Amino acid sequence: ASGAPPRNLVRSFFFIRTRAVYTLASMAAEGQAPAASTDARFNKYSFDDFRKVCDDDAGWDVAYDQDNIKMWTKNNENSAVRCVKIRSFYSDLEPETIYDVLHDHYYRKEWDNNMIEGSIVEQMGGFEEVGYYAVKMPTMISNRDFCNYRTWRIIPDHNEWIIFNYSVPSDKCPERKGFVRGCSYLSGYLLRKREGGGTDFTLYTQNDPKGYLPTWVVNWAMTKVTPNMIGTLHANAIKYAEWKKDHKPEWKPWLAENGYDPREEPYKLYVAK
């Protein structure tokens, strides 16, 4: 369409969006409430807060509603970049599989061709980290990078799998020459098991690539990118079980009772430039 941003720019927004909600992960002990961090940077949102923004539709504008995908957008006073929320379901995928796909950084390298680098820069515990991610942008546009706090839980009482993140300052994650530092205000996934099988899927995100991109371009791109992500995630999740058989099939630290331990297998060694 005339006046629309170029397709390769939209593709880059897709990978920014998907990475903003991608994380290594682990599972909390059954019935255990998430412990509050002693560092104020990591107490901005709780799992209850994230669940609420996923479930509360008041004040949201419907931007897309077809093919079992519904998307809303909403203004937020913290930025001109709009919040985006999307709901869908997968009848042929269980939450456990999608959760694994979102966490397996070996598998991530198979399909995220826009990833320049990904690493953990600070590990606070088994279920929370600060991570660095750099993503390719189209020619003539500076590449972006992000420094995000990420946390994750399986919450048995609610039959939920949750991952969310937001950007934080960290002296272990300095800005780099040649990159524009983007900002995730809040992004994540809420997965719920459907009666009879399958997954109810909610994505919430407010993610600003910053720099000199006009806000209208960012908001437009996000409404085009997010529905496409549902199909991309589905296509990769369907292939995951077969791929995993030949790629460290027992390696799923996000399912360890005590969480992921980077001393055993540092993420930075395996997701490289």
**Range in 14-18, 219-223, 259-263 with the lowest mean pLDDT:** 14-18
Q: Which two tokens stand for residue 36?
A: 């509050």
**Ordered alpha helix ranges (H), 40-122:** 47-55, 95-103, 105-111
- Token pair 């709009």 is at which residue? 82
- Quickly state the pLDDT bin for 182 (edges 50, 70, 90): very high
Q: How confident is the model at residue 229 (pLDDT cuts 50, 70, 90)?
A: confident
Q: Is 190 helix (H, G, I), strand (E, B) or coil?
A: strand
Question: In this structure, what are the phi and psi dihedrals at residue 90, rounded to the nearest 5 degrees?
Answer: -120, 115
Does residue 83 contact residue 58 with C-beta atoms inside 8 Å?
Answer: no
- What sign has the CA pseudo-torsion 55, 61, 64, 65? positive
206-224 pLDDT tens trace: 988 898 888 888 887 777 7
pLDDT at 127 over 60: yes
Q: Record the tokens describing residue 123, joined without a space.
A: 């590990």
Residue 225: band (very low, low, confident or very high) from pLDDT cuts 50, 70, 90: low
Contact partners, residue 179, CB within 8 Å, separation at least 6: 134, 142, 143, 144, 145
Residue 34 in this model has a pLDDT that exceeds 50: no
pLDDT at 126: 74
